[in-house]
Each structure stands twice: as structure tokens, then as C-alpha cells.
Amino acid sequence: MRSARILRFGVVGVVNTAVYYACYLALSTVLPYLAAHVIAFVTAMIGSFFLNCHYTFRIKPTWRKFLLFPLSNITNFVVTSVGLYVLVGRLHMNSTIAPLVAAAVAIPVTFVVAHYILVDRHPAGETPVVLPESVV
């Protein structure tokens, strides 16, 4: 069961990375690379929350989990941001390749924290996030 969950997390990670990367590339044409990174990261994280709830962990999204979910990405954000800065700013790696390298390093930690936040805590009375049909 856990290996299937890890596999699904990997699939969501690929989709999430594609969303992030597409946003990053589009935004980096009009913004500095770190600003593009931050906006793309937040956009992808919101999508990742819903994909991880519905597909990876097969749970109902709640406002509490939605508000806690960014905690699962803090380490990811720090690792990818520092990695991006080091790879581009210090090592002069191509800024279109560097985000992929930095993201690969942060994936395992993100799974562990996301699992803890989304699955291991089930307080009674959580209110599910209600989305308009067009979003789901």
C-alpha cells in the first residue's frame, strides 16, 4: 500500500514539476529568475495540494490541511531556492536547467512531510474544502 502511495506521489511530482517549470519559463521572460521561481512555486504548490489529496493519499481536502500543506513545502522551497541561487548565481548553470536539478534534491523530504500533514493527523470535525465544479 505504501509503495503504491509513493508511486502516486511520484506521478503527482512529475505533474507538479511540469506545472512549475512551465510557469517558471513563462514568467522568467518578464521577471528576474528568483521572482519567477517564487510565483511558479506557489502556483504549483496549490495544484499539488489537490492532486495529493485526491490522487496520492485519497483523502478529502480540508481547509486545515490546505493551510498546513505549505509546511510540507518549506524545506522543498528552501532547498530549491538555495539550490537555484547556487547553481545559477554561483556555478553559472543555465537557468532553464537549474530548477530541475534543485527540485530533484528536495523530493524525498517533501513526501515525508506531506504524508505526515495529510494522512497521519485526522482531527475530528475538519471542514472539507468546497470547490466549484469548474475547478474539480
When divided into structural domains, the chain yields a total of: 1
Nearest-5° Cα angle at 119, 58 to 52: 45
| Domain extent at residue 88 | 2-118
Asked if the structure places residue 123 within a domain, the reply is no
Query: Can you state the percent helix, strand and coil of the chain, rounding each to 5?
Result: 75, 0, 25
What are the pLDDT digits (tens) for 37-95?
A: 999 989 999 999 999 999 999 999 999 999 999 888 787 888 889 889 999 999 999 99
pLDDT at 125 over 60: no
What are the pLDDT digits (tens) for 1-22?
A: 677 888 898 899 889 889 999 9
- Phi-psi group of 123: left, alpha or beta (phi > 0 → left; psi -120 to 50 → alpha; rest → beta): beta
Per DSSP, the three-state class of 62 is strand
- Size of the chain in residues: 136
Instruction: For residue 114, name the pLDDT band (cuts at 50, 70, 90).
Output: confident
Asked if the structure places residue 125 within a domain, the reply is no
pLDDT at 78: 85
Asked if the structure places residue 128 within a domain, the reply is no
Asked if the structure places residue 108 within a domain, the reply is yes
pLDDT at 121: 55
**Chain-centroid distance, C-alpha 48:** 5
pLDDT at 61: 92
